[in-house]
Amino acid sequence: MTSNAELVRATACENVERLRRGEITPHDLLDALEARIKEVDGQVNALPTLCFDRARSHADALMKKPAGERGLLAGMPVPIKDLTDVAGVLTTQGSPIFKDSIATKSNIVVEMLENNGAVVYAKSNTPEFGAGAQTFNEVFGPTLNPWNLSRSASGSSGGAAAALASGTAWLAHGTDVGGSLRNPASFCGVVGMRPSIGRVAHSQGVKVDRTLSADGPMARNVEDLALMLDAMSGENPGDVLSLPRLPTSFLSAARSGAKPKRVAYSANLGISPVDPEVAEITRKAALRLAEAGVIVEEAHPDFKEAVECAHVLRAYDYVLTKGKLLKSHRDQLKPEVIWNIEEGLKLTLADMERAEAQRVTLMNRALAFFETYDLLLCPTTIVAPFPIEQRYLAECDGVKFDNYVGWLAIVSAITIACCPGLSIPCGFTRENLPVGLQIVAPPRGEAHALAAGKLLETILGLGAITPIDPRKG
């Protein structure tokens, strides 16, 4: 009989194969998770809301189906970010305004996962409304980084990343606007991908063509992430931008052995300061692709308008999604959210026209760049995990930021350019803190990013660095 510890350490792909062969059941995995959560999550605070009764009922229903009809995940447990509705489960969005809110209907992305054999057992912690790339809120408190409990797990999918790193999840759901999947993956030594627009269907709230935010997969290694993306992707009439499922799975792409011919590396994309140690670690990792015969050159598209464009479009998005709350619950909103909404309220039609035109220009420049280079590599985050007491990063390499999202330019530029971005662990700082490398592909090029991510993961020997027991700072 497989022990709880063995199940926790196993990869998602290994446990799914065991489920398919009938060697274990979803209940075995839920039992292992419940024990592991009791052991470590009090130190990390990654999964503040648990729903094991719902999960076990779902597992019972799944087990009544023939083995071949239990979906791609076959009963694999998955936590959902606390921004996203799961029917019958508390969804606070990290806000005191919604601290008692129970969802009546699941988001499309949750329905897609459950239809593909996922069993939802928890909600992962997030900053208020996903704002700030540092996971803390007034409802549940901060999520700590398992690699060093005095440091940030980043955000806004910080709970998901910390759960993966500390062994209370094998796969996790996240969302991403300005790096909210990629940043915490980097800080916590796991893998996260912002997929192409429409790759993962999700429920629409305020705008049918809202494209800054994307749902995506997180995992401990590239193959597990590809499996999760397979389970999440596919079209749905509730999301008019959603794309059909591809004929070849993302897991097959990750395992294909395909490699790029020529890639570009940039330490800063020409728009952001970067900590010198992070730049050195990511550059060395990128250059190791040469061992597989890949040409690696220093280059990047022209992203000079990306910071301004992201600022305007993000502010507009906040007005759309949170503007009413400023009128009705201003006293319960954190300062950063208030600032972002008010920035949006200042916008003119001329501001919007310029930003939308800039986005088209940036996307077209990226497309032209990818005619020469198969992929673009750069740091995922510009620093290693910073102290948990900091609300956000205010300065890097002597450059001070004038707002709470200034330090996110290197990931938000990829969002603005409509490209998928994959973050994989690529090394450690002198303080033994993980550093992530962002692998960017052209739009709808997730398969190429995953194949390269798996190749580099193998070269670097960093495919099995988690789970770990939480480490005190």
Task: Give me the catalytic one of 156, 186, 196, 213.
Answer: 156
Nearest to residue 19, comparing CAs of 448, 308, 383, 30? 30
Check if 81 is active-site.
yes
* Orientation of helix 108-115 relative to helix 222-232, angle to 10°: 110
Q: Is 337 exposed, middle or buried (0-12, 13-18, 19+ CB in 10 A)?
A: buried
Instruction: Output the six-digit token pair for 411.
Output: 């990931």
Query: What separation in angstroms does the CA of 40 have from each of 100, 135, 258, 469?
Result: 25, 18, 38, 7
Q: Name the residue among 316, 308, 274 with its Cα closest to residue 416.
A: 308
Region label for 378, one of left (φ > 0), alpha (ψ between -120 and 50) or beta (otherwise): beta
Beta strand residue intervals within 230-341, DSSP E: 262-265, 295-298
The greatest distance separating any two alpha carbons of the chain, rounded to the nearest whole angstrom, comes to 66
Structural contact between residues 376 and 420, judged by C-beta atoms closer than 8 angstroms: no
Residue 180 among the catalytic residues: yes
Residue from 106, 166, 180, 186 carrying the catalytic annotation? 180
Active-site residue flag, 156? yes
Q: 252: Cβ–Cβ under 8 A, 6 or more apart, which residues?
A: none
Question: Which sequence positions are flagged as catalytic?
Answer: 81, 156, 180
